[in-house]
Amino acid sequence: MIEGVLIDNIVFEKMERSSRRFSPLEAGGLLLGYRKDGFLHAIDITLPGAWDRHSRLAFHRSVKAHRLRALRLWRKSGGLVDWLGEWHSHPGFALNPSGTDHRNWSRIAKHRKAPMLFPIVDGQRAELYLKQSHKAAPSKLIETDNDEKGRYFCVSD
């Protein structure tokens, strides 16, 4: 069970910048950080690369290229940084998960056997969703606090 989520400001800045850069095509990547006693703390993301395929309604990331970048951060952190989830952009449309998003998120959470975070951004705003195996639908996260380092969220239900 996840009680709370902390996302560093740099994570939002990188997602928004990348989303604006690729708009009107979708962008995406992995979300990386720490898991600790019911809390998730995201500290970094991977960015779209030459091996990914973008369209207006989909983003297909190259599994290998993103894993390699995640692996580099994992090694640099002494094995502490974990894969927390996946972010992607909806440039110019609602930040609600699509049917494809729901299917992808379920598959990822099931495969990882861990709660996973799924931010959707549009260049200015972000919505965060958490997929936990004991719940059929992803929960939307609610911002409760923020400071100079990042933003804090709790699980809505």
Binding residues for Zn ion, per CB under 5 A? 98, 101
Shortest spacing between CB 64 and Zn ion, in angstroms: 22
Paired with 45 in beta bridges are 31
Of the CA atoms within 13 Å of residue 52, those in its CB half-sphere come to 22
The catalytically annotated residue of 3, 16, 26, 143 is: 26
Nearest residue to the partner Zn ion, using Cβ: 101
CA atoms within a 13 Å half-sphere pointing along the CA-CB vector of 102: 10
What are the CA-CA distances from residue 125 to residues 59, 93, 119 (Å)? 18, 11, 10
Q: 74 or 93, CB closer to Zn ion? A: 93
Task: Decide whether 27 or 40 has the Cβ nearer to Zn ion.
Answer: 27
Question: Shortest gap between Cβ of 74 and Zn ion (angstroms)?
Answer: 26
As measured in angstroms, the least distance from the Cβ of 82 to Zn ion is 23
Q: What are phi and psi of 63, to 5 degrees?
A: -55, -45
Pick 77 or 104: Cβ nearer Zn ion: 104
Among this protein's residues, is 26 annotated catalytic?
yes
Q: How far is the CB of 143 from Zn ion (least distance, A)?
A: 20
Q: In this structure, are residues 118 and 107 in contact, taking their beta carbons and an 8 Å threshold? A: no
Q: Which helix (H) or strand (E) holds 55?
A: none
Tokens 């709660």, residue located: 115
Which residues are designated catalytic?
26
